[in-house]
A and B are shown apart, each in its own frame.
Chain A
Amino acid sequence: MGVEAYMAVAGVLFALGIVCIISRRNILYVLMGVEMILNAANINFVAFNRYGNGGMEGRMFAIFVIILAAAEAAIALAIVLNVFHLFQSVRPSEADILRD
Chain B
Amino acid sequence: MNTLTAFDYKLLLAVPLIPLCGYVIQIFFGRNLPRKGDWLLTGGMFVVMCITVYMFFSKALGHEGTLPFWNESAATEGGPVFRWLYDSSAVSSDRNLVAGILYDGLGATMLMVVGVVSFLVHLFATGYMHGDRRYHIFFANISLFTFAMLGLVLSDNILFLFVFWELMGLMSYLLIGHFSHDPTSSRIKFAAAACKKAFLTTRVGDTCLFFGMAMFYFLLPREYNELVGQGLIEGDTVLSSFRFSELWQMTGAIVEAHGGDYPAWMTVAGLFTFGGTVGKSAQFPLHIWLPDAMEGPTPVSAMIHAATMVAAGVYLLGRMFPMMSPTTLQFVMAIGGITAIFAATIGCTVNDIKGVLAYSTISQLGFMVAAIGTGGLGIVAGLFHMVTHAFFKACLFLSAGSVIHGCHHEQDMRKMGGLRKMMPITFAAMLVCTLAIAGMPLFAGYYSKDRIIASAIESVLTQWRGGNVFVMVVLPLAAMLTTFYMFRLIFMTFFGEYRGGHDDHGHGAHGHDDHAGHDAHAGHDGHGHDHDGHHGHAHTPHESPTNMAIPLIVLGLLGVFGGHMWLTGDPLSDYGTWFTKLVRWEDMYVLPDGTSLQLLKMNMLEVSEHNHHVGHIWAVGVSLTVLVLGVLAAWWMYISKRQDSEAGSGDTAALFPIPAQVTGKLGLVYEAVRDKYYIDEFVNATVIRGTMVAARVQSWIDSNIVDGLVVGTGKTARGFGFLCGWVDKHIVDGAVNWVGNTTQAFSSVVRLFQTGRIQQYISFAVGGALLVAAFHILT
A residues bordering B, Cβ < 8 Å?
Answer: 18, 21-23, 30, 92-93, 95-100
Contact = CB atoms under 8 A, between A and B. Distances in A.
Interface string B741-777: 0000000000000111111001100100000000000
Contacts of B755: 96, 99
Contacts of A23: 759
The 10 closest A-B pairs by CB, nearest first: A99-B756, A96-B756, A98-B756, A96-B757, A92-B758, A93-B757, A22-B763, A22-B759, A99-B754, A92-B759
Nearest to B751: A99
A92 B766 contact: no
B756 A100 contact: yes
B337 to A, nearest CB: 111
Contacts of B762: 18, 21-22
A22 B766 contact: yes
Contacts of A93: 757, 759
Indicate the size class of the contact surface on chain B. under 10
Interface in B93-149: none
A68 B44 CA distance: 128
Contact of B757 (A18, A92, A100): A92
A96 B759 CA distance: 10
Does more than half of chain A's interface fall in helix, strand or loop, or is it mixed?
helix
Contacts of B754: 99
Contacts of A92: 757-759
Contacts of A96: 755-757
Contacts of A30: 758-759
A13 B755 CA distance: 28
24 contacts: A18-B766, A21-B759, A21-B762, A22-B759, A22-B762, A22-B763, A22-B766, A23-B759, A30-B758, A30-B759, A92-B757, A92-B758, A92-B759, A93-B757, A93-B759, A95-B756, A96-B755, A96-B756, A96-B757, A97-B756, A98-B756, A99-B754, A99-B757, A100-B756
A79 to B, nearest CB: 11
B319 to A, nearest CB: 105
Contacts of A95: 756, 758
Interface of B: 754-759, 762-763, 766
A18 B761 CA distance: 12
A93 B761 CA distance: 11
A96 B751 CA distance: 13
Contacts of A18: 762, 766
Contacts of B758: 30, 92, 95
A95 B755 CA distance: 10
A32 B191 CA distance: 118
B744 to A, nearest CB: 15
Nearest to B769: A18
Nearest to A25: B759
A82 B657 CA distance: 134
A95 B762 CA distance: 15
A22 B402 CA distance: 132
A92 B16 CA distance: 117
Contacts of A22: 759, 762-763, 766
Nearest to B758: A92
Nearest to A27: B758
A91 to B, nearest CB: 10
Nearest to A96: B756
A30 B758 CA distance: 10
A99 B757 CA distance: 8
A100 B759 CA distance: 17
A21 B761 CA distance: 11
B765 to A, nearest CB: 10
Given A22-B762, A99-B755, A99-B756, 10 more contacts: A21-B762, A22-B759, A22-B763, A30-B759, A92-B757, A92-B758, A97-B756, A98-B756, A99-B754, A100-B756
B436 to A, nearest CB: 119
A78 B421 CA distance: 139
Nearest to A23: B759
Contacts of B759: 21-23, 30, 92-93
A77 to B, nearest CB: 16
B382 to A, nearest CB: 113
A57 to B, nearest CB: 26
A22 B756 CA distance: 14
Contacts of A99: 754-757
A23 B759 CA distance: 8
A30 B759 CA distance: 9
Nearest to B754: A99
Contacts of B763: 22
A73 to B, nearest CB: 17
A55 to B, nearest CB: 29
A50 to B, nearest CB: 26
A75 to B, nearest CB: 15
A34 to B, nearest CB: 10
A24 B759 CA distance: 9
A18 B758 CA distance: 12
A100 B758 CA distance: 14
A83 to B, nearest CB: 11
A7 B595 CA distance: 151
A30 B763 CA distance: 13
Nearest to A18: B766
Contacts of B766: 18, 22
B511 to A, nearest CB: 104
